Structure 1
């Protein structure tokens, strides 16, 4: 069990290592009585809220930006704003993309445990690092007071039968996660007057299942929830509960009740710059089933294709809208000159998600290296929008292709330049 780089599992790591949560999972299959489902919120620092919901392809654009602008990110997680496995397609697609593009990252998720079962084998194959399962009771009489309903397939179950199915799925999931050697944490929300006298029993049961760590979280009274009238337990009260639970399992004592879009150190608020980028990414058209969905463009002014690759300090990246138009994604800084062949190797890696490069010219070495990486190279004159739309739609670009005058008339290189030759 390596907890050294996961801030949620290690009090020491939280001072150094940062995490990013990708909010791709808005739906939930249970209704907790302490939860408010209104997840669109920029201010509150609690689970279940986010500034925007992303599709998997949008999440990858956002993740790239975060990793370039926030240091020491060690963990990429999905914790909502609903339940990740009430949104299994979005969750698993995002994890697959992250693992492929950033294999060094720790992958992490937090779930009620209800829907994770069918995906545990694949998570293990992905060398998935850490899973948190929320277990708030093991007694049906207590559990039925914590949940309004549970959706099981097409059925909506009431508090008691719903909880019984939920608990069965939770215990099964935890046992299978541990059998696959996946580090497992259990979160337990402490609700005064409901389950506060039950925490020790939960801890004992989780210890039997060989859970790695227990996180007792004080109730956060959420407006418009069924438990909005209850008060948050005091620090002294929580300290006593953790002491009792600590007889059975190691305790997490530094939880900050993270947002579904949290970025940075635990307890650190998202910057306005990060939040703007999150919302911008959520507005981008989704890109489906294409490993190379973008094109790269060398431009001096952001309007025309008018720059030689060797002089480009950055390349503009464009994607295709669902309606056939194009949209600007980002500017990527090119490798610095002076690296010889390695400069172009690095550039080809940087453009691994681009199908085409549009420039006014380039040398033989970058042409050869980029072509080997299956990046189509076009030397064009024209506007970015017109050329990009033509590339994406497969239309003719002959009217924009630059002509190699010297190649056309080696005897008279001035021919065709309007000089009368």
Structure 2
């Protein structure tokens, strides 16, 4: 079935009252820190990029999408836009796109990215018929970019100041050029930040137009507390209108953007419905692979009261389930850990030990066991606190971000640690 490109409500103003979109929040990590961004805050009454009430695995995302399409049959677009950056989470992003394309061959697919790590995935995006990609490009001049970006993390190395801006801008422009070489529709978002880049947006427009960008979205910056730019006022409507008028000489303008959340769903401009948010919450409580029968959670604990032991140091694990009738967690049994040593063989044995567990809770975990367990459909959750509070909260779909450590999948700490 041919893709109906005109049905994309973000790229075609005539479609936005008829066709809906859904953002699948499968990409929590980010590889840059913008001075206007703080994803720690999540109010359901606000629309801004980078916030999501829940996070989903690719399998959970497909389950949620099926439920969402039943509730809202006018959904024509599946997008991935965070809450971090899709290509700071390439495995999750690409697997989600593969699953959706297989299940919904007629669905439009799109991603929104900062562009830093886009290049290695453009060929597969084209193969999957991802029809639309948005890149946020806030500066062409590295001196301006250095004011906007606190750091950029690329190939496990941190970059700051002019060096960071040069790296990011170079990757963005190269990515835009390659997208157009493969016939993918490209939208550029530019955040208007008064006193920082408002004088520079025309240069951005002229440059991206020369590389083939299809449409420009000049977005007013959103003032967010606890950011470097929290004392900068948002641009006036007059400033935004004037910039849109000037840049329209180079590119068509998107003027109906609602600064969508990373879990936005439905018609642009409408708030997510309670029914849809319940479906999102239900999906987040399922095993990472929803078809698996995984009723339990494992816990690394020194004394059996707190989650307070590193995954690799535990000599036994406590297994918990959930009693839906009493709405409480229940202890199942204790399982001895595999013997130490043996490299990945130990973690593979641990994955077998947890074959009926959707996740394991510990106060710390190394990269190797996390990778092996994740590949087996077992989520590694790094947190600290009372076991019953954590277990009950997870099974009930409650917000337990206050228990997670700064390596958590839920939010960017702003330091660059763990945002690979």
Q: TM-score, normalised by structure 1?
A: 0.69
Distance 1:102 1:114 in 2: 28
Point out where structure 1 has 5 or more consecutive residues left out of the alignment.
295-318, 329-421
Distance 2:260 2:53 in 1: 13
Please tell me whether the aligned partners of residues 4 and 108 of structure 2 are also in contact (alpha carbons under 8 angstroms).
no
SS state at 1:273 partner: helix
* 1:227 Cα deviation after fit: 0.8
Q: Does 1:230 align with 2:241?
A: no
Distance 1:129 1:325 in 2: 44
Distance 1:43 1:121 in 2: 37
Q: TM-score, normalised by structure 2?
A: 0.69
Q: Which residue of 2 aligns with 1:405?
A: none
**Compared with structure 1, are the counterparts of its residues 117 and 39 closer, same or farther at alpha carbon in structure 2 (3 Å cutoff)?**
farther
| Superposition CA RMSD, Å | 1.9
* 1:4 Cα deviation after fit: 1.6
* 1:41 Cα deviation after fit: 4.0
SS state at 1:15 partner: coil
Q: Which residue of 2 aligns with 1:58?
A: 60
Distance 1:160 1:13 in 2: 40
* 1:39 Cα deviation after fit: 5.3
Q: Which among 166, 180, 183 is matched to residue 182 of structure 2?
A: 180
Distance 1:181 1:260 in 2: 26
Q: Which residue of 2 aligns with 1:81?
A: 83
**Compared with structure 1, are the counterparts of its residues 28 and 272 closer, same or farther at alpha carbon in structure 2 (3 Å cutoff)?**
same
Q: Which residue of 1 aligns with 2:418?
A: none
* 1:325 Cα deviation after fit: 10
Q: Which residue of 1 aligns with 2:114?
A: 112
Distance 2:256 2:105 in 1: 27
Larger Rg: 1
Q: Which among 167, 170, 180 is matched to residue 168 of structure 1?
A: 170
* 1:238 Cα deviation after fit: 0.6
Q: Which residue of 1 aligns with 2:148?
A: 146
Q: Which residue of 2 aligns with 1:97?
A: 99
* 1:42 Cα deviation after fit: 2.8
Distance 1:84 1:159 in 2: 23
* 1:322 Cα deviation after fit: 5.8
Q: Which among 218, 221, 231 is matched to residue 219 of structure 1?
A: 221
Higher relative contact order (Cα pairs below 8 Å, separated by 6+ residues): 2
Q: Which among 11, 32, 46 is matched to residue 9 of structure 1?
A: 11
CA deviations on 1:253-289 (whole Å, 9 max, x unpaired) are: 110000000010001100111112212211211128x
Aligned residues: 300
Q: Which residue of 2 aligns with 1:32?
A: 34
Distance 1:185 1:48 in 2: 18
Q: Which residue of 1 aligns with 2:279?
A: 277
Please tell me whether the aligned partners of residues 296 and 322 of structure 2 are also in contact (alpha carbons under 8 angstroms).
no
Point out where structure 2 has 5 or more consecutive residues left out of the alignment.
298-318, 324-420
Q: Does 1:207 align with 2:209?
A: yes
